[in-house]
């Protein structure tokens, strides 16, 4: 089993009404050296300027990004090559990141290599410290700057810190 942290940037709150702009992924392992980054063109004519602004991308630039199908094929291949056993999707905000990745995989490939579920980092931390309202983002070393690989790396760093604190996870 391999944990893969994924972070998504989008131009609105939900696919396919809105579109993913970019995403990044990091395999949770001590080196954090296996990463994936992609930018995808819109799948919808709708977009929220304030949501798109978070990623620092203009609509015109977004329209020039790559078609989602080939991107999702490359991402699936990277997941398969980077995983030992079943890949497990992990994220800061599972409800947000998962919906985009799951939708894009199913819409463009007809399948999701992560299967049907994922893990939310905050819930793991809350369970570990036995406090349903505990905060965990202080465990990140890489700053959260809405670059999807940087954000995924920071979240993977937090998972590694939780392992150092005693959480049992399959990180090699």
Known catalytic residues?
146
Distance of alpha carbon 31 from alpha carbon 147, whole angstroms: 19
Contact 62, 41 (CB under 8 A): yes
Which residues touch 33 (CB under 8 Å, ≥6 apart)? none
For residue 6, count CB atoms less than 10 angstroms from its CB and return exposed for 0-12, middle for 13-18, buried for 19 or more. buried
Q: Report the 10 Å Cβ neighbour count for 140.
A: 20
- Only one residue has tokens 């056993």, namely 85
> Residue 23, Cβ neighbours under 10 Å: how many?
26
Residue pair 9/51 in contact (Cβ under 8 Å)? The answer is no
Helix (H, G, I), strand (E, B) or coil at 102: helix
**Alpha carbons 8 and 77: distance in angstroms, whole number:** 18
């Amino acid at each position: 089993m391999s944990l893969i942290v994924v972070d998504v940037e989008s131009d609105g709150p939900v696919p396919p009404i809105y579109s993913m702009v970019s995403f990044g992924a990091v395999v949770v392992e001590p080196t954090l050296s296996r990463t994936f980054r992609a930018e995808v063109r819109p799948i919808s004519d709708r977009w929220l300027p304030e949501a798109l602004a978070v990623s620092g991308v203009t609509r015109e630039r977004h329209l020039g990004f790559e078609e989602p199908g080939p991107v999702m094929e490359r991402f699936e291949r990277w997941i398969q090559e980077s995983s030992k056993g079943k890949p497990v999707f992990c994220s800061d905000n599972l409800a947000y990141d998962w919906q985009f990745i799951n939708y894009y995989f199913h819409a463009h490939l007809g399948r999701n290599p992560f299967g049907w579920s994922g893990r939310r980092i905050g819930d793991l931390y809350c369970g570990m410290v036995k406090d349903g309202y505990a905060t965990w983002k202080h465990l990140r070393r890489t700053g959260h700057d809405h670059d999807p690989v940087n954000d995924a790396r920071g979240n993977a760093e937090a998972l590694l810190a939780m392992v150092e604190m005693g959480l049992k996870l399959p990180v090699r």
